[in-house]
Amino acid sequence: MTDSSRRVAITGIGPITPIGNGVDGLWDGVRRGESAVRPISRFDPAPFSCRVAAEVEFEALDFMDPKRAHRLDRFSQIGLACAQMALADARLSPAQAAAAGMGIYTGSALGGIAFAEEQHGVFVERGIRAISPLLALSVFGGAASSAVAIELGLTGPSVANANSCASGAIALGEAARLIRDGRAEVMLAGGVEAPLAPLTFGAFSLIKVLSGRNDDPATASRPFDADRDGFVMAEGGALLVLEEYGRAVRRGAHVYAELVGYATTNDAHHMTAPRPDAAETARAMTGALCDAGLAPEQIGYINAHASSTVLNDGTECRAIRRALGAHADRVAVSGTKGLHAHALGATGAIEAAICALALERGHLPGTANLRSQDPECDLDVVPPGGRDERVPYLLTNSFGFGGINASLVLGAA
């Protein structure tokens, strides 16, 4: 981001999440403070050590006609629904968005892999002629963003990244760069994930990163808690309308927040374990602060990645201390995955949506299921229920397999 005179406003939010859909549904879910994790209903999870997840309540026909729904898999259906909600929330028609040259940047760790898994079963049982002719058009990471662009007529820049669990945050940061650099006036950006299929889910269970707390699903995801034992998988998505601030003001748009800073780094250490010294995680945070032109003391809240894995949460706390110095003792921190679980590449976008609403509505989300805070996570962690407090700026983190780190800084409108 190079042109400080061009600011980036968040003017539309389109979320489909386990705790609620749409702006009001998502925020009601945050304030309700109840975990959406339940026993898996999408398939039989009996063979796996983890048998819980956070599923979304989503009916494609609420957003598209039967013909369109039939031509899209769940991944692309969710993406299209999020896009439609985001545009409607921003009070932009598809024609207006297209006329403004809107593009779309999305992130997804796994894209249409669940549909591919389903079709592989069909292939094994009935042969190649039985599989869907749409398979090749559904599995690539850019399928959802392409479906959105085609349906809405968006001819601007279109990029889909697959940077694991940092994907959604990276999509937002890179889209904001386009606006700041004067290469776009308005963008759709965020993440979409539909990973709940047996082989896909089982692969994560096999490497022992998922919680085994099957007897009490609602408490399985417990960020910063001393008894955390792994993350809980989720599905869902969120796309945000990012708009050049002056343009948003001129058309009378409602501005939820500003996206003021972004940075990404790589641990270059291990595919699943964070770098123990947290150096590169911290550098993503300091880079985002530098990009925003802010000192650590100006950050009032951190929405942590806080995946509820044994290694990640403690390492992230070390990174926060390394990045913020003495201010780390004063900044409020919480992790919302105890509510909506971890929708992989979509989570950073879902959490960015929550952060924008937190800035607008003066409430810091709580950390669900925090019962006994891990001494290693020695920060001011916001307890369940949250805290009514207005902050000028916040930072939100997303970290993924492969050591990929991304941080965003949002400011109050």
User: What is the C-alpha R_g of the chain?
Assistant: 20
347 vs 120: CA distance, rounded Å: 27
Region class of 269: left (phi > 0), else alpha (psi between -120 and 50), else beta: alpha
Q: Which amino acid is at 249?
A: V
Catalytic residue among 50, 165, 317, 355: 165
If we measure between CA atoms, which residue out of 88, 92, 86 comes closest to residue 106? 86
What is the three-class DSSP state of 413?
A: coil
Cα atoms in the 13 Å half-sphere on the side-chain side of 155: 7
Distance CA 357, CA 353 (A): 6
Is 363 catalytic? The answer is: no
CB within 8 A of 92, min separation 6: which ones? Answer: 12, 100, 102, 186, 241
Whether residue 386 contacts residue 62, with contact meaning beta carbons closer than 8 Å, is answered with: no
Listed in sequence order, the residues at least 6 apart from 230 whose beta carbon sits closer than 8 Å to its beta carbon are 50, 208, 209, 210, 211, 212, 308, 309, 310
Residue 120: CA atoms inside 13 Å, Cβ hemisphere, count? 11
> What residues are paired with 332 via a beta bridge?
301, 380
Q: Closest Cα to residue 173, out of 298, 301, 284?
A: 284
Q: In this structure, how many other beta carbons lie within 10 angstroms of the beta carbon of residue 215?
A: 9
Place of tokens 């990174």: 319
Q: Which of 305, 317, 355, 363 is catalytic?
A: 305
Residues 6+ apart with CB under 8 A from 407: 169, 261, 262, 263, 264, 284, 285, 287, 288, 395, 396, 397, 398
- Residues paired with 302 in a beta bridge: 333, 395
165 is known as an active-site residue:
yes
- d(CA 342, CA 348) in angstroms, rounded, equals 9
Q: Which of 340, 342, 363, 377 is catalytic?
A: 342
Distance (Å, rounded) from C-alpha 113 to C-alpha 138? 9
Q: Is-catalytic flag, 377?
A: no
The residues annotated as belonging to the active site are 165, 305, 342
